[in-house]
Structure 1
């Protein structure tokens, strides 16, 4: 999901993305990079560690997984880990030194990953990926922004579109019932929130609806990050002011955002336990019809819509285009896959073939629709899912964490979505692309941020959460900002970031 801002500068915000899955040994086919192995060749076993965002992960007998293995002559042993504790499990795995062949890294610029790369834990694929047509066709920025400070790529980006990232979606049917329109500004947004919380939008005669299913992380504003962005008109934690990158936490607009959120909390428009609420729990609130707004990609908004329509056919969660005329542009990646340096070169090639196949149209259609006459039939040009298709394709949110193709509208479509919903999503993405703002700090490097950034992020978020709760007065935020601006590490980090930025734009060093 997800629009999460970090003061850490190494690669502000978005994480990379990669497409993966499948590959055979031998020569590769010019269309997909998949290999054409003799039928008698023994399947290559590949151990994968990744996460999933589906109701449940695929089991080892999932027929789509089996088909991928068959097409690529592989035996895939996948450890599917919950997104709620994936980073923790990844750190434990890295510490053990017993790495899988292929492992998802959510943020390639955290110290533990940089250190592992420097110590030779991962294969350097800087020149390798250029031999695989689909991987080489990823956006240039996907590869450039995932390089370490030595200029090398130690992983394959999980490619994602630059448009259609995490942003709020709203219960359009509730708006219609209350005579309201999709909010365009933060003032209009507040009025909508108040109506959702106080005017019984679900019509059950009870005051049991929440305005927004909000949550934060220990080191970021989580699903409240876009509100800060709307006030600051900035994507990420750094804004260009008079030619210099300035941290948004020192700007008056950030304080305005905290005032807005504190008021919302006091009037019970956001969950009382938003500070400990998890993303999955926030999504459950939307599925249960307990909240009027959530935050996610356009296609992900279909999941709670589909659930709600089982009992309320009129339920409609509409992705929003912008707030205060602002919407963010993503970097084109969301984490990356690292390859264990202990695997031999021959197996490295197999893994790269697998990832290259994963970025192909063939692989994408397989995980989107399954196999013809097994998971779907065609009628009048439309795909009609069979019972098995409906059962096994709920795991899309798992397969598509490792298997993804580069497409502008990838975040518009999800299996089972009606055509009118899909077309509306495409229009939302088109409208966002006209005004979306990129994060200027993506790909920049600051050594200081590696050491002080993580703890600083936690301190910043801690005081923000306390101000929103009302446990600390707004003056406490003012005092914190004054100390922040004079902090030696913060000043050094800011200088390093600006130096890096000037190098990138060709300015003075």
Structure 2
């Protein structure tokens, strides 16, 4: 067998599951209003009836902001649509429902000409069903700047069986996970920020026994929630630290549930649950909304999530916590250590979104031209930052700074700096240091916290494997196995300690019989062909 592929995908923490990843949020950046003069496509406007190009956009339910009608979209129409005789129509999809909605749109042949997802599982499904346009020739013909900007290595993440069936967005920020701990609770129990798993456990016991927040039965030293698209998301760093060393072949093929050591991590979560350290109500929270409420109202002492999640402007957990509980604070930490003393965790791979054109689209060429236009630096800057004086007030070393938050802007100036610059995920200024600095400006008042959390997110972090051949069994069993994973997660954590082994083993055996083993076998066969 030839050397195994080490190319990777960022769309899941666990090899065994497809996860809808949370794109990094935050409100940063800016550009001058006159940038529209240089952002237009070259040449005079074309004559004849205008072509309608439909483009998906995430609707993040920002109050007062219309995802399909705002100053950014009008700017796009003026600078790309009008010169090319194209009407660009945006199709909003709720962020929390993007997988389900896109599946419905694709099945009914109504998906936008430019669609996208972070989820590799559904991409495999679309590839398998022949539902995607091969963009290879169109990129060669119409997108020289785009292909140069992304580079061939990154473009290869969108290739399946030699066909360019997706355009991967460039991910600027690769960090994914960090943990946060209540600093005021640590001070109250006379303990320091933990740096090892054992230290963390002692802190959690102290949080439970001493109840520094005086919360009684609402005192949750540690919490998680149950989302089938994101199983283990909020326990990820802990579980990764329990994994034992495995071969590259095992790493490429095995689901986490059967990787040596992972069961021990789940048993530790069972122990935490039965000792009252883990929130006893976690299984009732299917979308994380109660989790967010508990954090912001001061009930949770420790959390694992996206490295920036508590300090994002929306939902603003740490800001709200400080308002709700005087003197409260959460600080980034990295407590979980493996047998080698390292702090393993997963990180995003170099590509972000999979941008796709459905096979039924009649406007694939226009779609590629739109992506090519988006590769202009002035376009990226405007879409990611807005206008100086409207969305931000200053620039530091050419980086927009001091942003005005959406809740302080009139509706006609509210912006979405995350989702409209499709070809790049994260602030792009052409230099890693500037990119981090620019990203930090999106967290006003928490710039230093952002940098510390981001450093943690990259510490001992690894990618997960990527197959450029569709694993048909993975596409076939995705939904059933996602539901089974939720069942394993909840039942093995909440059962009595004496019943853990039989509960876990029985459920994992069912998982493997329900398609898990077929996925392993197909992956092994794919590796042997390389």
Q: Do structure 1's residue 124 and structure 2's residue 137 form an aligned pair?
A: no
1:463 partnered with 2:488: yes
SS in 2 for 1:36: coil
- 2:96 is aligned with 1:69: no
**What is the DSSP-based 3-state SS (H/G/I as helix, E as strand, rest coil) of the residue aligned with 1:294?**
strand
Q: Which residue of 2 aligns with 1:493?
A: 519
What's the CA shift string for 1:321-380, capped at 9, x where partnerless?
462121223222344122234444xx4343334334445543443344321122233388
Shift of 1:389: 8.2
Structure 2 equivalent of residue 473 of structure 1? 500
97 and 65 in structure 1: CA distance in 2 versus 1, 3 angstrom threshold:
closer
CA distance in structure 2 between the aligned counterparts of 1:465 and 1:231, rounded to whole angstroms: 18
Structure 1 position 308 matched with structure 2 position 321: yes
Is 1:38 the counterpart of 2:44 in the alignment?
Answer: yes
Matches of 1:482 and 1:167, distance apart in 2? 31
* Structure 2 residue matching 1:301: 3-state secondary structure: helix
SS for the counterpart of 2:257 is: helix
1:273 aligns with 2:281: yes
- The answer to whether the Cα contact below 8 Å between 1:302 and 1:317 also exists between their aligned partners in 2 is no
Task: Measure the CA separation in 2 of the matches of 1:139 and 1:201.
Answer: 52
Deviates more, 1:309-318 or 1:155-164: 309-318
CA distance in structure 2 between the partners assigned to 1:313 and 1:484 by the alignment: 46
Does the aligned pair in 2 maintain the 1:358–1:404 contact within 8 Å? no
Question: In the superposition, relative to structure 1, how do residues 294 and 388 fare at CA in structure 2: closer, same or farther (>3 Å)?
Answer: closer
Number of equivalenced pairs: 478
Task: List per-residue Cα deviations over 1:112-152 (Å, max 9, x = no partner).
Answer: x445445553321134335242454336554323322x221
Tell me which moved more, 224-233 or 436-445.
436-445
The alignment partner of 1:271 has SS state of coil
8 A contact 1:101–1:343 mirrored in 2: yes
Q: Secondary structure at the match of 1:293?
A: strand
CA distance 1:310–1:134, shift in 2 (3 Å): farther
- The alpha carbon displacement at 1:497 in A equals 1.6
CA contact (8 A) 2:393 2:403 kept: yes
Q: Establish whether residue 291 from structure 1 lines up as the match of residue 293 from structure 2.
A: no
SS at structure 2 position matched to 1:137: helix
1:449 matched residue in structure 2: 474
Q: Secondary structure at the match of 1:78?
A: strand
Aligned to 2:196: 185
Matching residue of 2:30: none
Once the two structures are TM-superposed, the CA of residue 7 in structure 1 deviates from its matched residue by 1.5
Q: Is the 8 A contact 1:167 1:320 kept in 2?
A: yes
CA distance, structure 2, for counterparts of residue 404 and residue 242 of structure 1 = 30
Q: 1:58 Cα shift?
A: 3.2
Aligned twin of 2:425: 404
Identify which range, 248-257 or 279-288, moves more after superposition.
279-288
1:58 to 65, 68, 72: 65
Match of 1:26 in 2: none
The aligned runs of 1:145-156 (5 Å cut-off) are 145-148=157-160, 150-156=161-167
Aligned 8 A contact 1:54 1:395 in 2: no
In structure 2, the partner of 1:24 is: none
In 1, Cα distance between the equivalents of 2:55 and 2:387?
23
Contact 2:237 2:304 in 1 (8 A): no
Residue equivalent to 1:215:
225
2:464 aligned counterpart, secondary structure: coil
| SS of structure 1 residue aligned to 2:488 | helix
The 1:39/1:311 distance shift into structure 2, 3 A limit, reads farther
Q: Distance in 1 between matches of 2:490 and 2:395?
A: 53
In 2, the alpha carbon distance for the partners of 1:498 and 1:33 equals 48
Alignment correspondent of 1:323 = 336
* Residue 105, structure 1, aligned to residue 117, structure 2: yes
- For residue 91 of structure 1, what is the aligned residue in structure 2? 103
Q: CA deviation at 1:231?
A: 0.9
Change (3 A) 1:328 1:411: farther
Answering whether residue 258 of structure 2 is matched by residue 250 of structure 1, we say yes
Give me the whole-angstrom Cα distance separating, in 2, the residues matched to 1:151 and 1:440: 18
Q: CA contact under 8 A between 1:160 and 1:406: conserved in structure 2? A: no
Residue 355 (structure 2) aligns with: 337
Tell me, in whole angstroms, the C-alpha distance in 2 between the residues paired with 1:386 and 1:242.
48
Q: String of CA shifts for 1:151-179, please: whole Å, max 9, x gaps.
A: 21222223324631134333344434443
1:34 Cα shift? 6.1
Instruction: Describe the SS at the equivalent of 2:65.
Output: coil
Q: Distance in 1 between matches of 2:172 and 2:73?
A: 25
Cα separation, partners in 2 of 1:350 and 1:174, compared to 1, 3 Å: farther
| Unaligned segments of structure 2, at least 5 residues | 1-9, 25-34, 338-342
Q: Which runs of 5+ in 1 are unaligned?
A: 19-28, 505-509
Residue in 2 that maps onto 1:22? none
Alpha-carbon separation, structure 2, partners of 1:85 and 1:500: 32
Structure 1 residues 374-383 or 184-193, which shifts more? Answer: 374-383
Q: 2: CA distance between counterparts of 1:243 and 1:380?
A: 43
Mean Cα displacement is larger for which, 187-196 or 34-43?
34-43
Alpha carbons of structure 1 residues 319 and 54: separation in structure 2 relative to 1, 3 Å: farther
Query: TM-score if structure 1 supplies the norm length?
Result: 0.77
Q: Quote the Cα distance in structure 2 between the aligned partners of 1:290 and 1:357.
A: 47
Superposition TM-score, scaled by structure 2 size: 0.74
1:176-229 Cα distance to aligned partner (Å, 9 max, x none): 444333333332333333444454444x66553423341233363332233221
Q: Does residue 169 of the first structure (1) align with residue 180 of the second (2)?
A: yes
